[in-house]
Amino acid sequence: MDGLDGSALVDLMVACERLKARLDALQQVALAGVIEATESTGVDGDMARHEVGAALRLSPGTAYERTRVAADLTTRLPATLAALRAGRISYLQARAIADGVRPLTDVQAEAVQLRVLTRCGTRTLAETRRALSRAVIAVDPAGAMARHETAHAARRVSIDVQSDAMAGLWATMSALNARQVWAALSDQAHRSRLALRSAGSLDPGLEALRVDALVALVTRRPAGGVTHPKALPRGRRPAAPRCTCGGRARAAVVIDLPTLLGLAEHPCELPGYGPIPAPLARELAAGCEWSRWTTDAGTRRLLDIGSHRYRPSSRLAQFVAAGHVVCGFPGCSRPAAACDLDHVTDFRRGGPTDTTNIHPACGGHHNAKTHGGWHLHYDPETGIKTWISPLGKKYLKYPDPPLPDG
């Protein structure tokens, strides 16, 4: 790019974006072709999402969305696909249109895309989504409230794993409820700020205080309190959570003995999240009951525990969740504790119920193996799982990281 001035570099940047859009359009056709090829094997086309996820290294949800968008663009939204192929809109805009018209009839979807595409090439993604919302309501005003009620019925809370022992908590709810919750959190945050300043304490900022207010509300701790255990004076650590049956809580972390005793600072594992620092793990472990498991001295992987029964014991289930971390399908990050326990070799064919033959598989990938034409081979020596798709492609799932070396 030597010799190009600023103006020429901007032109090159725009040209690259248009070329990318054209490649995205070509990929939509290829994705739709994978769906058709999957159906030709006698498997439901919906199962193509597993092939797409493994081939493109996408999470199950992202892979499913990709296949749905491609199916919509190549069937009932040809004008949107043409605009993408011409480089007039981006893939994200095309996806927004496909998502927005999905509940509509083909005739209504055609009317909406024509309304939106007229100025889509000059709009940002946010502007496209606002125009799309207006167009959907204009084309189908009678169905707007019904769609809201359907969306409201699907309200949910989800957790997103982040780095540095942090996580995002996302709540999808009605816009009215969201504004009410935001107002309440903001009000509590402002009151906490005033209290901190009056006491001469450090003000962490309104964003952090909103988080503290949310935690206080849900956990019923005093509003405005500090949420990180390290910030509490020694002797005032929060009590470990108790199970509802009245017994002591089980340990929520995987930690080696030297680290537990404070003699080492090895990384620890929080099931369903991943690695966390040793001090935080010790805080979580306080007051919990413990199960002792043995690791291989060379690989640091958990050794075997098993049963001759079909259904794994609760102890084996905990062991598998601790050792595998996530679903055994390539690219799937569903926590192992939230997965099914699947026999690699079917129990009826002599497959044992132990850690050489049991692995975690989320519901979708368990179903793909059982009913979707997928096959699984497992090498217990290397820990590598080889998944073979209905189209004959092979995808490798490498073993999860071993426990930290002590």
Question: Is pLDDT above 70 for 272?
Answer: no
Tell which residue, 311, 267, 270, 274, has the closest CA to residue 288: 270
**Region 234-246 average pLDDT:** 36
Question: Is pLDDT above 60 for 149?
Answer: yes
Whether residues 13 and 137 fall in one domain? yes
Question: Is pLDDT above 80 for 312?
Answer: no
Whether residues 142 and 19 fall in one domain? yes
Whether residues 265 and 326 fall in one domain? no
pLDDT in tens, 13-66: 999 999 999 999 999 999 999 999 999 999 999 999 999 999 999 988 999 999
Whether residues 112 and 29 fall in one domain? yes
Whether residues 16 and 139 fall in one domain? yes
In this structure, is residue 405 part of a structural domain? no
Whether residues 143 and 186 fall in one domain? no
Whether residues 96 and 23 fall in one domain? yes
Question: Is pLDDT above 90 for 70?
Answer: yes
Question: Is pLDDT above 50 for 126?
Answer: yes
**Rg from Cα positions in the chain:** 26
Domain count of the fold of the chain: 4
Whether residues 140 and 189 fall in one domain? no
Whether residues 111 and 137 fall in one domain? yes
Tell which residue, 94, 79, 86, has the closest CA to residue 125: 94
Distance (Å, whole) CA 322 – CA 339: 12
Please give the structure tokens belonging to residue 166: 């942090």
Distance (Å, whole) CA 180 – CA 104: 30
Of the residues 124, 153, 182, the one at which a domain ends: 153
Question: How much of the chain exceeds pLDDT 90, in percent?
Answer: 42
In this structure, is residue 214 part of a structural domain? yes
Average pLDDT, the chain: 81
Q: How confident is the model at residue 87 (pLDDT cuts 50, 70, 90)?
A: very high
Minimum mean pLDDT range among 180-194, 252-266, 379-393: 252-266
Minimum mean pLDDT range among 198-207, 298-307, 361-370: 298-307
In this structure, is residue 41 part of a structural domain? yes
Question: Is pLDDT above 60 for 127?
Answer: yes
pTM: 0.69
In this structure, is residue 172 part of a structural domain? yes
Question: How much of the chain exceeds pLDDT 70, in percent?
Answer: 80
- Contacts within 8 Å (CB) and 24+ apart, 169-177: 169/214, 174/148
Question: Is pLDDT above 80 for 285?
Answer: no
In this structure, is residue 300 part of a structural domain? no
Determine contact, residues 340/317, Cβ cutoff 8 Å.
no
What's the helix, strand, coil split of the chain in %, to 5? 50, 15, 35
Range of the structural domain that residue 255 is part of: 249-292
pLDDT in tens, 320-341: 777 777 888 998 888 887 888 8
Whether residues 139 and 220 fall in one domain? no
Best-predicted range by mean pLDDT (106-110, 236-240, 299-303): 106-110
Give the up-direction half-sphere exposure of residue 99: CA atoms within 13 A in the CB hemisphere. 13
Whether residues 279 and 318 fall in one domain? no
In this structure, is residue 347 part of a structural domain? yes
> Residue 351 corresponds to which amino acid?
G
In this structure, is residue 131 part of a structural domain? yes
* Residue 241, pLDDT score: 35
Task: Classify residue 300 by burial, with Cβ atoms within 10 Å: 0-12, 13-18, 19+.
Answer: middle
Distance (Å, whole) CA 15 – CA 345: 52
In this structure, is residue 38 part of a structural domain? yes
The residue whose two tokens read 């199970």 is 243
Whether residues 19 and 81 fall in one domain? yes
